Structure 1
Amino acid sequence: MMGEGGKAGEGKNGNGSKTIEQIAPSSPLYLHPSDSPNLPLTNIIFNGENYDLWADAVRNGLDAKNKLGFVEGTIKRPEVIEGEEETLPSVAWRQCNAMVKAWLRSVIDHRLHSSITFSGTVMEIWKELKERYSNGNAPRVHQLKGELNECKQAKNQSVVGYYTRLKAIWDELGNYSHVPQCTCGAAAALTKERD
């Protein structure tokens, strides 16, 4: 329940008794008591070369915790008026931003920490990592096509193991292939061919 003026801490309700402000559990600004800075969002550690796989796993973990908006920038920091007490939503946003930053650090190789140490918000860190490490470029597509061309089932490898490896290459290659929108029907033909 929000106190008077939306200030952090305690307020008074209509009958004069004290109320304690709370963030609703359904809010993206809510931190569960079991949330910890060392809580891993995924078991995939970003090493500078596996950005796309790592980013997908982290986005999934953050979505499950209702914090995806922090990396997407859709959960904006509430305005803090200079000289006034910080509001509960502002405090909660600051704490959640710090928690998500800690979660990101816990799934990034320690050798890369210095490159993100001084970023202010989770969104800034996310954008910086994406700009620097996202492999949505021609060299990676060429590398994947080469891997696909050379992909063969090893003698002792199961069909399931071989298919899993092959599908991983197909899926990553599919991430870089975007079918443009059109009204002529060519996009549908391209999609059918890719399938």
Structure 2
Amino acid sequence: MATGPTTPLSHIDLQTLTSLFSQFNQMQQNSNRANLSPILDPTSHYYLHPGESPGTPLIASILNLNNYHTWETSMSRALRGKNKIKCIDGSLPKPPSDDPLFEAWERCNMYVGDIFCITAKQEDMSITDYFTKMKGIWEGLDNFKPVPSCESCHETCKCGLGIMRGYRQDTRMVRFLRGLSDQFTTVR
């Protein structure tokens, strides 16, 4: 009777076996991730953790006329940490409404869009200083969430981006007027 092991695995050393198991696990993880919905995949830009909602602040500081640079640094770090920077910088395009990811994109867009609500008041600044501060904030926000340039429209915009720019200008004008001091009540 033989006293040694007779299985084919007896000739494989432990390091080779560990390597095979590691490769198998990696293949299994890749297979599972490929079948996982982007809404449920924590590595996806479309994933929203249950604790993330439009009412939950992403960072502690609130953007005002005096703290743009520190706010921008904190916000950029927070968006990168939440894997949402592509939702802001335009590199995650809006899918067509019939795309299965459209709803997920809308949720993420709503989540990150609420971050950029600004409350600013003129207070004791001159109207020129107030406008200059607001313009600086708007330019900084344009770096976060730019409206893309029309590439196919030459004379007049036909793709809708011009309308988006108009909406943005209207929103900014309303915010500017609402922030004016009480002496400009009739202008508002």
Determine which structure has more spread, i.e. the larger CA radius of gyration.
Answer: 2
Q: Same fold (TM over 0.5)?
A: no
TM-score range, shorter chain: 0.3 to 0.5
Q: TM-score, normalised by structure 2?
A: 0.42
